[in-house]
């Protein structure tokens, strides 16, 4: 993962109200092809994935790859961590079971970060099977465990390899060479060869690329890489960090203020302040914060890829286990408001987060905490047939104020006396037809 958030903004944030009768908030993107829609369907419906950063950087608990790249530690000292990477308590089935309990539908494992250390027994480069006490392929058993639990498989791969003698960049201050096409081609063949291994051995559902910023799409031969992977699996999904060839955008570390322009997108977010395991980092987000960030993301049509970092022995810190379990406990109470939903209404209409059922006839409102009064929805052209607090069979009282011809009023939903979820409650509004929102005509005038 790249640490500079500014360089990771691969999406455009657009503000303003630009629609009526839809839950979209940005100018329309080109209509996806039928093949693209079919390929992206599971991803769109999944809503939650778990990111796992695991590598030799967990031995000393330092920044993954960046610690030597930025000069915090020498490269030889960084690579000494190879001798302490044991994976001695690695239980891939326990990992997969935790991910399933979290409510996630897919996971992404860092098979090789920018340091060039592969987690499988690659025929090329440095890898944990031959260069660490772990002494084995760590990717295959995890892939098998995910599939046993019915989860989709994502594999992270950094295009850059700061350890490769054929890669031009070494550290922030040092380059190995400039303008050596033959040497660069050797590196391209190397990285594409490793991707071919991953693709043909493990048949992932998704490739999560990183490390792209140091070269152009043409230099990476990204088109050729995409073609190679799609030849192996026409349904494989690629993120947008394979320059010019990705299926979805990947903002990181903070949800956008308004919905990104990308049709498909995923927010990647750490559970504390670090991607990999760092024993000194105890700044963990609370379950309430994670749930809030999650619903904020899915309310804008995105997925959350929530990151945890495994120790060098393969164990997951208890704080991260607790966060995932709490998130899963909450999600499993409200699946209809989460999976297979579309983006909800903009906050001009409802001040919290919301989602919309696939048939557009049920609007789900996420209610944070205990409101001081009724919940307010504005601009709803539909008639509400039924309003209920999910988890309760009691119909909620509603009141419509100020309704006029062709101009909807203010819909108040009374939660007084209801038992609310201490994390986040969900109100379901059943509509008389597909959602239709009011948009004030540009030439509208007021009168009395």
pLDDT of residue 6: 34
Query: What are the E-state strand segments in 117-204?
Result: 117-118, 126-127, 152-158
Which letter, b or e, does each residue of 260-276 get, where b requires 16 or more Cβ atoms within 10 Å of its Cβ? Answer: bbbbbbbbbbbbbebbb
CA separation, residue 252 to residues 122, 170, 211, 240 (Å): 29, 25, 14, 13
CA separation, residue 380 to residues 25, 368, 371, 439 (Å): 16, 21, 21, 10
Query: What residues does CATH 2.60.40.1180 cover in the chain?
Result: 342-431
Q: How is 40-56 classified by DSSP, letter by letter?
A: HHHHHHH-EEEEEE-SG
Residue pair 74/18 in contact by the 8 Å Cβ criterion: no
Q: Quick one: which of 49, 60, 85, 65 has its CA closest to 1?
A: 65
Q: Please list the ranges in the chain whose pLDDT falls under 70.
A: 1-30, 440-448
Question: What is the 3-state composition of the chain as percent helix, strand, coil, each rounded to the nearest 5?
Answer: 30, 20, 50
Residue pair 167/185 in contact by the 8 Å Cβ criterion: no
Q: CB count, 10 Å around CB of 84?
A: 14
CA dihedral 17, 406, 443, 402 (to 10 degrees): -80
CA dihedral 346, 256, 318, 209 (to 10 degrees): 130
Cβ burial, residue 426 (10 Å; 0-12/13-18/19+): buried
Assessment of whether the complete model's pTM goes beyond 0.85: yes
Residue 378 structure tokens: 């504005």
What are the pLDDT digits (tens) for 152-190? 999 999 999 999 999 999 999 999 999 999 999 999 999
Give the separation between CA 49 and CA 317, rounded to whole angstroms: 18
Place of tokens 């190879």: 82
Give the separation between CA 26 and CA 19, rounded to whole angstroms: 8
Give the separation between CA 14 and CA 11, rounded to whole angstroms: 10
Query: What residues does CATH 3.20.20.80 cover in the chain?
Result: 5-26+33-332
Give Cβ neighbours of residue 35 (< 8 Å, ≥ 6 apart): none
What are the pLDDT digits (tens) for 397-429? 999 998 777 788 899 999 999 999 999 999 999
3-state class of 192 per DSSP? helix
Backbone φ, ψ for residue 181 (5° rounding): -55, -40
State the CATH architecture for 5-26+33-332.
Answer: Alpha-Beta Barrel (3.20)
Residue 387 structure tokens: 């309003």
What is the SS3 assignment for 77-122?
A: HHHHHHHHCCCCCCCHHHHHHHHHHCCCCEEEEEEECCCCEECCCC
Q: How is 355-388 classified by DSSP, letter by letter?
A: EE-TTS-EEEEEE-S--SS-EEEESB-SPEEEEE
Give the separation between CA 269 and CA 275, rounded to whole angstroms: 9
Residue pair 360/435 in contact by the 8 Å Cβ criterion: yes
pLDDT of residue 29: 58
pLDDT of residue 255: 81
Backbone φ, ψ for residue 366 (5° rounding): -90, 125
pLDDT of residue 406: 75
pLDDT of residue 370: 86
Query: Between 3.30.2290.10, 3.40.50.2000, 2.60.40.1180, 3.30.70.580, what CATH number should domain 342-431 receive?
Result: 2.60.40.1180
pLDDT of residue 139: 98
């Amino acid at each position: 993962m790249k640490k500079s958030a500014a360089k990771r903004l691969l999406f455009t944030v657009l503000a303003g109200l630009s629609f009526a009768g839809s839950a979209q908030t940005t100018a329309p993107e080109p209509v996806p092809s039928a093949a693209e829609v079919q390929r992206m369907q599971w991803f769109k419906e999944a809503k939650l994935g778990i990111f796992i950063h695991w590598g030799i950087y967990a031995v000393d608990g330092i920044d993954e790859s960046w610690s030597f790249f930025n000069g915090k530690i020498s490269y030889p000292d960084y690579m000494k961590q190879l001798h302490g990477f044991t994976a001695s308590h690695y239980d891939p089935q326990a990992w997969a079971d935790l991910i399933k309990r979290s409510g996630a539908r897919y996971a992404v494992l860092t098979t090789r970060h920018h340091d060039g250390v592969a987690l499988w027994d690659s025929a090329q480069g440095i890898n944990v099977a031959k260069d660490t006490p772990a002494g084995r392929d760590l990717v295959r058993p995890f892939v098998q465990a995910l599939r046993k639990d019915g989860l989709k498989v994502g594999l992270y791969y950094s295009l850059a390899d700061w350890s490769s003698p054929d890669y031009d960049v070494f550290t922030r201050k040092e380059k190995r060479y400039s303008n050596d096409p033959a040497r660069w081609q050797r590196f391209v063949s190397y990285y594409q060869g490793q991707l071919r291994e991953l693709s043909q051995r493990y048949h992932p559902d998704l490739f999560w690329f990183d490390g792209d910023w140091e070269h152009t799409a043409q230099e990476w031969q990204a088109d050729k890489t995409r073609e190679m992977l799609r030849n192996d699996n026409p349904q494989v999904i690629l993120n947008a960090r394979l320059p010019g060839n990705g299926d979805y955008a990947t903002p990181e570390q903070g949800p956008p203020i308004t919905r990104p322009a990308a049709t498909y997108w995923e927010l990647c977010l750490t559970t504390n302040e670090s991607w990999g395991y760092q024993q000194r980092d105890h700044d963990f987000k609370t379950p309430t914060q994670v749930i809030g960030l999650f619903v904020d993301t899915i309310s804008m049509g995105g997925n959350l890829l929530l990151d945890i970092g495994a120790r060098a022995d393969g164990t997951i810190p208890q704080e991260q286990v607790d966060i995932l379990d709490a998130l899963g406990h909450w999600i499993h109470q409200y699946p209809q408001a989460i999976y297979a939903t579309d983006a909800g209404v903009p906050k001009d209409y409802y001040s919290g987060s919301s989602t919309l059922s696939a048939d557009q006839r049920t609007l789900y409102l996420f209610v944070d905490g205990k409101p001081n009064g009724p919940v307010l929805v504005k601009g709803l052209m539909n008639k509400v047939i039924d309003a209920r607090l999910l988890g309760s069979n009691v119909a909620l009282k509603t009141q419509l104020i100020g309704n006029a011809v062709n101009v909807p009023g203010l819909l108040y939903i009374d939660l007084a006396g209801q038992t609310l979820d201490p994390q986040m409650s969900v109100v379901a509004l059943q509509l008389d037809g597909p959602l239709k929102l009011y948009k004030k005509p540009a030439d509208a005038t007021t009168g009395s």
